[in-house]
């Protein structure tokens, strides 16, 4: 396995492309109509909306390394060593449990009840989850939380076997994401008040 693996649902990139396309068409329609000032304002607002969308939808990810797992949420990053992680659960989203707390990943939400109706026992073959006594529908490899769970189990087991796993716990604020959101909201409020 690679030393570092980044997990982020691919649908987030499709959502970003859709938002950029719609906002680009909106700004382009003003320019095509000869309304340059309104087009400029729409373009500035579009960039602010895309920046906020990036922070909340595209930026969240789960990074698996040889020493531990990193959960990147919009405003906070948590790095947990494989030896410090007590368990992984997928009730509402992929969550790493440690003695002190629990850390959920925005990038790996659990499947809803309509999707779970399509799951079958054969979906779990080769995932390493067959040894669990109870397999929840959110553990399925067809859900984002299930994929993150399977990757976490495989990477942690490999790191422990190699002896590279550590027991660190680091919490950091994402100051850049906070600044981007605050400045984007300020731009939106300023341009909408004009």
pLDDT tens for residues 116-144?
555 555 555 555 555 555 556 666 666 78
Task: Enter the tokens of residue 161.
Answer: 């076997």
Rg for the chain (alpha carbons), in Å?
Answer: 21
**85-115 pLDDT, tens digit each:** 988 888 888 899 998 899 999 888 877 666 6
**Residue 97 in tokens:** 């449990």
- Looking at every residue in the chain, the average pLDDT score rounds to 85
- Under 8 Å between Cβ of 77 and 172: yes
Query: Quick check: 178 pLDDT over 70?
Result: yes
**pLDDT higher than threshold 90 for residue 155:** no
Query: In this structure, are residues 67 and 164 in contact, taking their beta carbons and an 8 Å threshold?
Result: yes
């Amino acid at each position: 396995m690679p030393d570092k693996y980044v997990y982020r649902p691919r649908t987030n990139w499709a959502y970003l492309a859709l938002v950029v396309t719609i906002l680009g068409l909106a700004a382009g329609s003003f320019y095509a109509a000869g309304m340059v000032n309104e087009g400029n304002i729409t373009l500035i607002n579009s960039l602010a909306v895309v920046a906020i969308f990036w922070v909340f939808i595209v930026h969240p990810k789960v990074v698996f390394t040889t020493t531990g797992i990193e959960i990147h949420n919009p405003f906070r990053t948590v790095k947990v060593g494989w030896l410090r992680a007590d368990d992984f659960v997928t009730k509402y989203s992929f969550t790493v449990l440690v003695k002190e707390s629990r850390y959920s990943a925005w990038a790996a939400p659990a499947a809803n009840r309509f999707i779970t109706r399509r799951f079958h026992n054969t979906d779990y073959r080769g995932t390493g989850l067959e040894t669990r006594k109870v397999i929840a529908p959110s553990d399925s490899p067809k859900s984002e939380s299930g994929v993150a769970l399977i990757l976490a189990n495989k990477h942690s087991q490999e790191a422990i076997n190699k002896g590279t796993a550590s027991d660190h716990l680091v919490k950091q604020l994402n100051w850049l994401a906070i600044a981007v959101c605050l400045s984007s909201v300020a731009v939106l409020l300023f341009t909408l008040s004009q």
